[in-house]
Amino acid sequence: MKKIFFAFIVTLGIFEVHAQKEFQGMAVYESKTSTADMKNQMGKNKEITPEMQKLIEERMKGMFEKIFVLHFDRSSSVYKEEEKLDAMGGQGQGGMRMMSSMMGGGGTFYKNVKDKMYSVDKEFMGKEFLIQDSLPQLQWKMESETKQIGGYTCYKATASKPVNMSDFRNFRPKDQSKEAGKEEKKETEKKTNFMDDFELPKEILITAWYAPEIPINQGPENYWGLPGLILEVSDGKTVILCSKVVMNTKEKATIKAPKTGKTVTQKEYDEIVMKKMEELREMGNGPGGFRGMRMGR
């Protein structure tokens, strides 16, 4: 009898491991970043004509509105932007890929919540990087507020998050009340970089909505750590909303970490990006006026 019981336990353990390995789900997310403050600042910059502003807005629309697909199992996931046809006919692809990367796109984002690590491959200035680091440990505050997303009852959670310096979605307009004393000096200077009106805060407030009905410790980008799949997350400027969830997908996706590129930490990658952008700015080819982004010139 003991032998039969032991065999049953072993068989049950094997079955559970197999079930965990075979289980897989898929979620589609739509990411939208507000550009109202950027449009407002461009309108104030005399160096940017209405024609230039319209061109910039058209070129950048695809960077601020993206669709991503998250494939997940019980411990890991891959999050990747849905490929689009190049509306520019191949012109300026290098600069556009660089800017897309700075706006949260590009590459394959792999998370392993069991090992609490992530890796993502990024292309920047023609070079391939492989960012490998620990997942951020956000101190989520659980709220009682609920709402429906795609038929699921979702609960609210909030947390403060240190900003990612290489993600330009994190830039916010400067507090004009603090800048008032500098206006006279600015009037005597020729202003050619409208990004001077923006700053990078140290932290941003995150609001997430998770579905306990989907007991997966996953979410879009590097968000995780809640007792249910995160179906919506917002930082006050960018909203990532799930539009479709499929559980136990028949066709299994490959969920594995990317391996291409020079291995760096997130901090090292951020420093590389910020240093290069400062160099471009000093050369007069940086984000101010977007002259260095090769947007179909």
Interval 104-157: pLDDT, tens: 456 899 999 999 999 999 988 889 999 999 999 999 999 999 999 999 999 999
What value does the CA radius of gyration of the chain take, rounded to a whole number of Å? 22
Q: Which comes out higher in pLDDT, residue 116 or 176?
A: 116
Domain spans of the chain, in order of start: 22-293
The residue type found at 67 is I
Mean pLDDT is highest, among 21-25, 39-43, 67-71, 248-252, for 67-71
Mean pLDDT is highest, among 6-20, 105-119, 274-288, for 105-119
- Of 53-67, 103-117, 184-198, the poorest mean pLDDT is in 184-198
Distance (Å, whole) CA 293 – CA 285:
8
pLDDT surpasses 50 at 268: yes
The burial class, CB within 10 Å (0-12 / 13-18 / 19+), for 154 is: buried
The burial class, CB within 10 Å (0-12 / 13-18 / 19+), for 281 is: middle
Mean pLDDT, rounded, for 37-58: 65
Q: pLDDT class for 177, splitting at 50, 70, 90? A: low
Q: Which two tokens stand for residue 175?
A: 């507090």
